[in-house]
C-alpha cells in the first residue's frame, strides 16, 4: 500500500458520542455508552484561557425581580442555590414562548447555548444532518462552515453542536466578553437564518458520486460515513438496536443520528421543511451561564424574535405501550479480540420511571450505581467475578434520556450456551436486592460522593450544568429542580432511613416489570460483508431509477460542489477579536515550593486558594528511563491497584471506604520528555485523590494502603481485570482510532512518542490481549510486584497539594505521616532491580509505514514528522502553523472534499513532533496524500 513515510492508517470507527448522566448523579454513576448523543466536534482549545478584563455594563442578573419585563421577556422565577453559589433565573419570551434559563454565577467562563426539540419519526438522520448544514453558512455570515472559520477569530474555550434523541444543541464558552458577543451573533444567525443550500446538504448528508477507481458509484457524505462507521462497531450497534427494540411505536425506535440504510432516503426539501418546523423560537431553549450582564443578551435575542409568531410545537409519540416480555435475537459484527467462541452479547432491559419526576430519576441513578458500579456491586459479583463474560454489555446502566427511563443489565463476550445462565444470574441478583437491599455504608458512600461532586469545581462547570438539565428541560421539567442537590440527597436519606426503599424499587421495576426486553446479538463473521453488499444493493436501486440525463445532472452537481469547495472565500463578514479585545496580562496563580519528610525530603508544590472545603493531592513517582522491560506493565499495574484488593481487605470493602471519604483515587502511567536532558524521557506513575477537609487523614491512609498492600497474588481477580481491560481497549481503539494512528505514526521518531505508544497505543492493545490469553498468570504477577517495588520510591517522589488556608497544616501533618511509611529504594537497590538504557538500546529515529486492519467499516489516518523541540526558534512558528492548517486547509480537503468526519494537525513542542490525523475517513490513502 503506497503510504507516506511515518504514517498510520487504521480501519476503525469513532462514535462521537457522549453519555449524558444527570448532574444529580454524576458522581454516583459510571456506565457504558447508551443512546449516544451524536456530536459534531471542533478543534477549539481544551484549555481555558485566563483573562483579566473589565466586563461590559448592563442590567445585572442580580437586579432582576420576578414578573419584570425586559426586551420582550418576562421573568417567571428566580431561585438561589446556595450549595452551587448561583442564582437561577427563568424567563420566557412573551410573543414566541421561547424559554430561557440564566445561571448567574461568579465565573468568567461564560456559556451560551440554544437548542431545539428535534424528535424524529424516521431514521434518515434529518436532525443530525440539519445540525451539520446549519453550520455551512447563514444570511449574515455566508461562508462555508463559519464555526471553523471562527477558530482563528475567537478565544473560545469550547465550541460544539450535537444531536440527541429529542433535541439538538449549539453551545459555546468563552472568557472574553467581546468574543462572547461575536460567537452569540454567529450562532443565532446560523440556527435561525441558515442558507441550507442543496450543495451543503449533499456534502454533509449524502450524495451519489462516481468511484474514480472502477468507474462505479458510491455513497459519500460526512454524516453518512460517520454513521456507517458507528453501525459497524459491535458495542455501539448493540446498544442502539436494543433501545430500538425496547421502545416500539415511539420516536426512540428510530435513530436520530441516522441509520446508513435510511439516510439516502432523505431529500433536501425534507431537510428544509424540518428546519422550518423545528428551528423556531416556540420550540427553543436558551441557556446562559456566567458573570456577563444578561440585559444585552436579551436585547440581541429579543430583536431577532420580532419577526416570529408563536406556533404549536410538533408532537411526536414518546410514551411506549407496555408489551410484557419480548425476546429478540439479531446478528452483529465480530470483535478481533477475545475468544472466538465467546462473542455473544445478551442483556435484560426494563422500563423504569417517568423522566419528568426529578426525584425518581435521581433515586434510580443512585440505585443503578449501587447495583452495577464497582467491585462491591451485586451485579459485578454475579456477572463479572463469575467470568461468564468479559465485561458488561454496552447498554448496561440506567438511561435517563427517554420519556420513560430504562435500566439494562447484560454481558458481552459470552458463549451462546450461557445466555440462559446470564439471564438467571441477573434475575437472581434483582431478587437478592429485593430481599436484602444494599449495604448501608455503600449507600452513605454513594450519597457522600454526590455531595462532594457538587463542591468540586471544574473549569467547565457551566457546560456540565447545561448537560445535566437539558434532557429533562426539553421534556417540560423545570430545569432548576435538577440543581437542588441537597434537597434530593436529604429526601433519599430519609427514605432509606425508613427502610425498604431500594427494595421497593427492585420489586416495582424489575421483579414485577410489565415491559422487559431480552436482547441477544450473535456474532456473524460475514456481518461487514453483508453491510457492504446491502450498500451495493442500495446504490444499484438508486441507479435503476435514474436516466442517463439524471446521472449527467448528478455529475454536474458533483463538479459544482468540488469547485465550490476549492473556491477562495471572502471571510470579511465574520466578526473577529482584535488585540484591543485581549488583555495584555494573563491570569497568574501563586505557588509555594516546599519539602516534606525527615530522612528523605520530598518536594511539595503548594497552591493555597478557595477550594470550597476540598483538598487535592497529586503525587508523581518518576523512574526516568530505567526499567524499560517493566514499562509495558504500567497501565495494567495502575488498573490493578484499584481492583485487586489487599491481603487483609477485599476491594469491595476498600472501595466503599474510598467513596465514603474521598472523590476517588486514581493511578495512571505518565511519560514526558526530560526538559533538562532532551532526547531522554521521564516515565513513571502519577496518582491522586481529593476529599473534604474533614477526611484528609482518611484520604492519605487509603492511598497508602493501595500503594503498599495491593495483593497481586489474587490471580482470579487479575484474570477478570485482564479480560475487561482487553475488551475495553478494543472499544477504545474503535472510538478513538485517530489518536492511535497519530501515536503509532510518531512512535519511531522520538523516545517519548515511542514510550507513549507502548503505554497507550496499538502495542499496548496487543500486549494486554496476549496477557489475557495466558493460562498461567504467575509471570504477570511477578512483573507487577517488580513494578510496585521500583516505582513507589520515596527517593523519586514529588507531590502537589491544593487546599484552602485552613487545610494547609492538616495536609502537611498527613503528608509527613504518609511519607514515614512510604517505600524507599536505596541507590544500590535501584541499580540491582532494573536496567538503564544501554548504549545499544538508545533511541534511533526511523521512517516507518504502518497499516492496521480492523473489522469495521471506516478508517483513520495519521502522519507524523520529526521537527524541532520547544527551545528552537521555529517552535512557535510550528505551533501557529498547526493552528492555521486545520481550519484553513485540512478541514476543506479532508472533511468537505474527502467526506471524512474530521481531521487536523498538531504540534508537540516537547516531543518535537508535527502530526496530522483524520477520523471516520472513507479515503485514508487520499488523506495521506493531503497530509
* Residue 682 is among the residues annotated as catalytic for this protein: no
Backbone angles phi, psi at 548, to 5 degrees: -65, -35
Beta-strand ranges (E) seen in 211-358 are 217-220, 284-290, 324-332, 344-354
Element (DSSP H or E) covering residue 272: helix 268-278
Taking the C-alpha atoms of residue 310 and residue 73, their distance in angstroms, rounded to an integer, is: 14
Angle, helix 440-455 to helix 651-661, in steps of 10 degrees:
40
Cβ atoms of 294 and 303 within 8 Å: the answer is no
Q: Across the strands, what pairs with 88?
A: 79, 103
Q: Cell triple for residue 577?
A: 477579536
Half-sphere exposure of 210 (CA within 13 A, CB side): 14
- Marked catalytic residue, from 69, 83, 99, 131: 131
Which cell numbers in the block locate residue 177? 466578553
Phi-psi domain of 259 (left: phi exceeds 0; alpha: psi -120 through 50; beta: other): beta
Q: Collapse the DSSP code of 87 into the 3-class scheme (helix H, G, I; strand E, B; otherwise coil) and give the result.
A: strand
SS (H, E, C) 604-629: EEEEECCCCCEEEEEEEEECCCCCCC
In three-state secondary structure terms, 527 is: helix
What is the b/e burial string over 118-146, where b = at least 16 CB atoms within 10 angstroms of the residue's CB? bbbebbbbbbbbbbbbbbbbbeebebbbb
Cell output for 709: 498492600
Is 200 within 8 Å of 137 (Cβ atoms)?
A: yes
- Residues 6 or more apart whose CB falls under 8 angstroms from that of 16 comprise 38, 39, 40, 41, 226, 901
Determine how β-strand 110-117 pairs with β-strand 167-174: antiparallel
Residue whose C-alpha is closest to residue 469's, from 23, 103, 97: 23
All three cell numbers of 905: 494537525
CB count within 10 Å of CB 636 equals 23
Rounded CA-CA distance 367/507 in Å is 12
d(CA 787, CA 783): 6
Grid cell of 400 as nine digits: 435517563
Comparing C-alpha atoms, which of 38, 406, 19, 475 is closest to residue 256? 38
Angular region, 444: left φ>0, alpha ψ -120 to 50, beta rest: alpha
Cα distances (Å, whole numbers) of residue 281 to 117, 163, 187, 685:
11, 18, 14, 51
Residues 6+ apart with CB under 8 A from 314: 117, 119, 277, 278, 283
User: What CA–CA distance (Å, rounded) separates 468 from 21?
Assistant: 7
Q: According to the 3-state scheme, what is the secondary structure of 862-902?
A: EEEEECCCCCCCCHHHHHHHHHHHHHHHHHHHHHHHCCCCE
The C-alpha atoms of residue 922 and residue 201 are separated, in whole angstroms, by 18
Q: Which residues pair with 217 in a beta bridge?
A: 210
| Torsion angles phi and psi, residue 438, rounded to 5 | -115, 150
Q: Which of 105, 107, 64, 61 is nearest to 82 (CA)?
A: 105
391, 505, 754, 899 from 721: Cα distances, Å: 9, 30, 25, 39
The 8-class DSSP code of residue 748 comes to T
In angstroms, the CA 714 to CA 273 distance is 61
Q: Give the integer Cα–Cα distance in Å for 761 and 637.
A: 16
Q: Which residues are catalytic?
A: 131
Amino acid at each position: 500500500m503506497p503510504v507516506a513515510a511515518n504514517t498510520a492508517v487504521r480501519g476503525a470507527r469513532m462514535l462521537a458520542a457522549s453519555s449524558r448522566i444527570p448532574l444529580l448523579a454524576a458522581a454516583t454513576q459510571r456506565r457504558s455508552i447508551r443512546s449516544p448523543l451524536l456530536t459534531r466536534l471542533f478543534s477549539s482549545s481544551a484549555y481555558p484561557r485566563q483573562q483579566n478584563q473589565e466586563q461590559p455594563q448592563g442590567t445585572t442578573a442580580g437586579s432582576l425581580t420576578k414578573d419584570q419585563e425586559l426586551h420582550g421577556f418576562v421573568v417567571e422565577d428566580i431561585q438561589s442555590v446556595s450549595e452551587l453559589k448561583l442564582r437561577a433565573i427563568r424567563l420566557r419570551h412573551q410573543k414566541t414562548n421561547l424559554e430561557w434559563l440564566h445561571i448567574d454565577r461568579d465565573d468568567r467562563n461564560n456559556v451560551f447555548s440554544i437548542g431545539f426539540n428535534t424528535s424524529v419519526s424516521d431514521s434518515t438522520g434529518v436532525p443530525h444532518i440539519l445540525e451539520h448544514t446549519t453550520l455551512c453558512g447563514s444570511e449574515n455570515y455566508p461562508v462555508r462552515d463559519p464555526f471553523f472559520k471562527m477558530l482563528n477569530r475567537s478565544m473560545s474555550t469550547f465550541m460544539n453542536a450535537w444531536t440527541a434523541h429529542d433535541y439538538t444543541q449549539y453551545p459555546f464558552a468563552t472568557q472574553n466578553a467581546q468574543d462572547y458577543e461575536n460567537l452569540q451573533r454567529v450562532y443565532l444567525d446560523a440556527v435561525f437564518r441558515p442558507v441550507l443550500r442543496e450543495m451543503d446538504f449533499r456534502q454533509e448528508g449524502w450524495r451519489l458520486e462516481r468511484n474514480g477507481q472502477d468507474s462505479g458509484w458510491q455513497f459519500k457524505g460526512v454524516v453518512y460515513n460517520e454513521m456507517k462507521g458507528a453501525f459497524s462497531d459491535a458495542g455501539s450497534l448493540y446498544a442502539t438496536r436494543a433501545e430500538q427494540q425496547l421502545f416500539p411505536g415511539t420516536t426512540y425506535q428510530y435513530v436520530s443520528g441516522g441509520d446508513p440504510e435510511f439516510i439516502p432516503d432523505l431529500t433536501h426539501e425534507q431537510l428544509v421543511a424540518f428546519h422550518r418546523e423545528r428551528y423556531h423560537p416556540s420550540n427553543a431553549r436558551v441557556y446562559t451561564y456566567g458573570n456577563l450582564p444578561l440585559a444585552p443578551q436579551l436585547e440581541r435575542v429579543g430583536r431577532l424574535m420580532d419577526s416570529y409568531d408563536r406556533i404549536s410545537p410538533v408532537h411526536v409519540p414518546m410514551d411506549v405501550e407496555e408489551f410484557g416480555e419480548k425476546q429478540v435475537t439479531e446478528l452483529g459484527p465480530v470483535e478481533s479480540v477475545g475468544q472466538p467462541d465467546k462473542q455473544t452479547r445478551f442483556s435484560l432491559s426494563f422500563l423504569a420511571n417517568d423522566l419528568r419526576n426529578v426525584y425518581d430519576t435521581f433515586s434510580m441513578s443512585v440505585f443503578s450505581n449501587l447495583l452495577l458500579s464497582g467491585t462491591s456491586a451485586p451485579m459485578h459479583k454475579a456477572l463479572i467475578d463469575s467470568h461468564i463474560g468479559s465485561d458488561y454489555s454496552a447498554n448496561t446502566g440506567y438511561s435517563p434520556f427517554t420519556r420513560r427511563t430504562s435500566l439494562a443489565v447484560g454481558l458481552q463476550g459470552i458463549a451462546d450456551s450461557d445466555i440462559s445462565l446470564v439471564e438467571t444470574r441477573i434475575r437472581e441478583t434483582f431478587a437478592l436486592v429485593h430481599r436484602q437491599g444494599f449495604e448501608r455504608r455503600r449507600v452513605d458512600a454513594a450519597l457522600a460522593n454526590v455531595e462532594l461532586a457538587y463542591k468540586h469545581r471544574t473549569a467547565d462547570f457551566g457546560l456540565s450544568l447545561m448537560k445535566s438539565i437539558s434532557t429533562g428541560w426539553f421534556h417540560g421539567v423545570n430545569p432548576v429542580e435538577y440543581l437542588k442537590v441537597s434537597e434530593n440527597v436529604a429526601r433519599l436519606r430519609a427514605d432509606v432511613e425508613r427502610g425498604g426503599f431500594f427494595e421497593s424499587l427492585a420489586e416495582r421495576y424489575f421483579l414485577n416489570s410489565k415491559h422487559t426486553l431480552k436482547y441477544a446479538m450473535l456474532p456473524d463473521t460475514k456481518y461487514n460483508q453483508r453491510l457492504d453488499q446491502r450498500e451495493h444493493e442500495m446504490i444499484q436501486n438508486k441507479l435503476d431509477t435514474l436516466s442517463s440525463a439524471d446521472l449527467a445532472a448528478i455529475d454536474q452537481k458533483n463538479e459544482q460542489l468540488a469547485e465550490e469547495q476549492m473556491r477562495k472565500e471572502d471571510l470579511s463578514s465574520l466578526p473577529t477579536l482584535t488585540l484591543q479585545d485581549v488583555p495584555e496580562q494573563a491570569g497568574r496563580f501563586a505557588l509555594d515550593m516546599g519539602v516534606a519528610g525527615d530522612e528523605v525530603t520530598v518536594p511539595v508544590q503548594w497552591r493555597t486558594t478557595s477550594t470550597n472545603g476540598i483538598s487535592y493531592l497529586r503525587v508523581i513517582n518518576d523512574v526516568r528511563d530505567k526499567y524499560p522491560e517493566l514499562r509495558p506493565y504500567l497501565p495494567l499495574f495502575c488498573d490493578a491497584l484499584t481492583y485487586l484488593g489487599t491481603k487483609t481487605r477485599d476491594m469491595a470493602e476498600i472501595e466503599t471506604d474510598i467513596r465514603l471519604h474521598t472523590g476517588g483515587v486514581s493511578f495512571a502511567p505518565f511519560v514526558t520528555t526530560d526538559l533538562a536532558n532532551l532526547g531522554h524521557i521521564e516515565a513513571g506513575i502519577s496518582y491522586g485523590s481529593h476529599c473534604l477537609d474533614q477526611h484528609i487523614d482518611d484520604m492519605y491512609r487509603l492511598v497508602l494502603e493501595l500503594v503498599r498492600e495491593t495483593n497481586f497474588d489474587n490471580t482470579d481477580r487479575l484474570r477478570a481485570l485482564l479480560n475487561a481491560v482487553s475488551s475495553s481497549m478494543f472499544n477504545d481503539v474503535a472510538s478513538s482510532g485517530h489518536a492511535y494512528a497519530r501515536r503509532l505514526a510518531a512512535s519511531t521518531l522520538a523516545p517519548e512518542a515511542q514510550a507513549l505508544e507502548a503505554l497507550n497505543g496499538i502495542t499496548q492493545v496487543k500486549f494486554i490481549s496476549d496477557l489475557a490469553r495466558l493460562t498461567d498468570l504467575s509471570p504477570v504477577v511477578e512483573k507487577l510486584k517488580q513494578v510496585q517495588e521500583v516505582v513507589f520510591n520515596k527517593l523519586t517522589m514529588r507531590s502537589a497539594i491544593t487546599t484552602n488556608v485552613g487545610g494547609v497544616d492538616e495536609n502537611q501533618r498527613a503528608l509527613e505521616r504518609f511519607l514515614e511509611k512510604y517505600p524507599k529504594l536505596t541507590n544500590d537497590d535501584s541499580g540491582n532491580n532494573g536496567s538503564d538504557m544501554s548504549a545499544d538500546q538508545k533511541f534511533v529515529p526511523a521512517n516507518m509505514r504502518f497499516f492496521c486492519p480492523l473489522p469495521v467499516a471506516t478508517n483513520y489516518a495519521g502522519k507524523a514528522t520529526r521537527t524541532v523541540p520547544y527551545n528552537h526558534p521555529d517552535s512557535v512558528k510550528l505551533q501557529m502553523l498547526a493552528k492555521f492548517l486545520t481550519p484553513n486547509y485540512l478541514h476543506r480537503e479532508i472533511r468537505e472534499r474527502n467526506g471524512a468526519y474530521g481531521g487536523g494537525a498538531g504540534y508537540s513542542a516537547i516531543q518535537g513532533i508535527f502530526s496530522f490525523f483524520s477520523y471516520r475517513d472513507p479515503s485514508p490513502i487520499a488523506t495521506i496524500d493531503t497530509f
